[in-house]
A and B are shown apart, each in its own frame.
Chain A
Amino acid sequence: MRLSIPAVAAMLMLAATPSAFAHAYLTKSSPAAGAVVGASTSSMLLIFTEAVQPKFCTVTVTDSAGIPADTGAPQAVPGHGNELSVPVHFSRAGKYTVKWHALSVDTHKTHGTFSFSVNQ
């Protein structure tokens, strides 16, 4: 016991930290940042480091002229508390920027942006 607590602590310090995150940050998305997708894409998926509260998350999508694409409210993904699904409709091709605001279950808010392109 005398050895194990410092040992566990040291192991955690060395091994655990690279994947540890506080607050909800975006780890992955579909479409991914920088991707090129078809205009028929009808939903986006955002994956975070922590479970989020969909009612208090917002996701907006605008084209390069600042005109918003049609988006629905972010939806929870059953069984995946750290994911948000967002219905979307693209009426024309171009580069789009996604702005997200997330509320984590830890009461902290985060936000960020990423972009992708839609072709015909």
Chain B
Amino acid sequence: MDNPVWMVLRGLSRGLHLAGYFSAFGAALFGAVIMPVPGLRRLAWGGFAVAVLGGAAWFWLQTADFASARSPSAVLAALPLVAEYTRFGWLTLARLALLLLAVLCAQGRRWRLAAALAGLGVLGESWLGHGAAMTGMEGWFLFACSLAHIGAAAAWLGTLPALALGLCSGVSPMVLAQRYSRLGMLCVAAILVTAFLQYLLLIGRVSAFFNTGYGEAALLKLVLFAALLTLAARNRWRLTPALPASRAALLRAILWETALGVLVLLAAGVLMQLSPPVMAAMAGMAS
């Protein structure tokens, strides 16, 4: 199962899982800090469904890889072992249970509790990262970066579908856009800082963007992120001041942002299957 096609499929299913997870969390967060607009609960359930679907595919493919299984029956036999004996297994199941709990809270309009529970599950993903697996100071530093990075990404990208929903509802688009832009700016700043720190620790040199798989996936993320930022800046400084006349244009831009956000997460899913260039170089030295 060392086949690159399987590796990419694992990454894509992981990205899909994250996209669903983020949008369910984003729906709850939007309800808690911006406004509980109509339709948020359905959005949360939709996100949960995608998180379960992507999570199930990821779990299956990851189990096949762990157990070097070559047949569906061999994967099936290994599933309980992965669930019980690997951090990936129990953490993924626990995170999905947490999301279910969060969506149930959202169903009862307990938005803050829902956002807190889903947020915990979002951050939990960092525990599968290199920072959490490494020992020593740099492990802790990388883990902290990853927590802030994934938390900010989830708060920003995850709330985009909810914002689109809000713009379709009868709520004043000015109020929504103003409240949203503060959250957005904060998240973008956190993403930029943590992305740079992770670049220093995991990639280390510009040439690695072009000659390693990890670097290429990171570059793809960077390009998509730049496109997202362009759209977000246009929303903030061009379309928001022109509200309510620009409402349809703003909605269109946010749907584009959402689509780009999904692509960023799919690229992130693949990135997380790969070996960071800095570390790979050192591993080469060690062996």
Contact = CB atoms under 8 A, between A and B. Distances in A.
A and B: partners?
Answer: yes
Interface of A: 5, 9, 12-13, 16-27, 49-51, 53-56, 82, 103-110, 112
Given A21-B283, A55-B86, A104 B137 contact: no
A105 B280 CA distance: 17
Interface string B56-70: 000000100111000
Given A17-B282, A51-B133, A106-B128, A22 B86 contact: no
A93 B81 CA distance: 37
Given A50-B135, A56-B85, A82-B135, A20 B128 contact: no
Contact of A21 (B87, B134, B141): B134
A13 B204 contact: yes
B279 A20 contact: yes
Contact of A56 (B86, B130, B136, B273): B86
Contact of A19 (B88, B136, B273): B136
Given A12-B138, A12-B141, A109-B66, 4 more contacts: A20-B278, A22-B130, A26-B287, A105-B132
Contacts of A82: 135
B279 to A, nearest CB: 3
Interface residues on B, range: 35 or more
B125 to A, nearest CB: 11
5 contacts: A16-B137, A16-B138, A17-B204, A21-B134, A22-B276
B88 A17 contact: no
A104 B193 contact: no
A108 B275 contact: yes
Interface stretch (B43-51, B194-202, B234-242, B254-262): B194-202
A105 B66 contact: no
A21 B279 contact: yes
A53 B87 contact: yes
Nearest to B278: A17
A9 B66 CA distance: 35
B2 to A, nearest CB: 8
A25 B133 contact: no
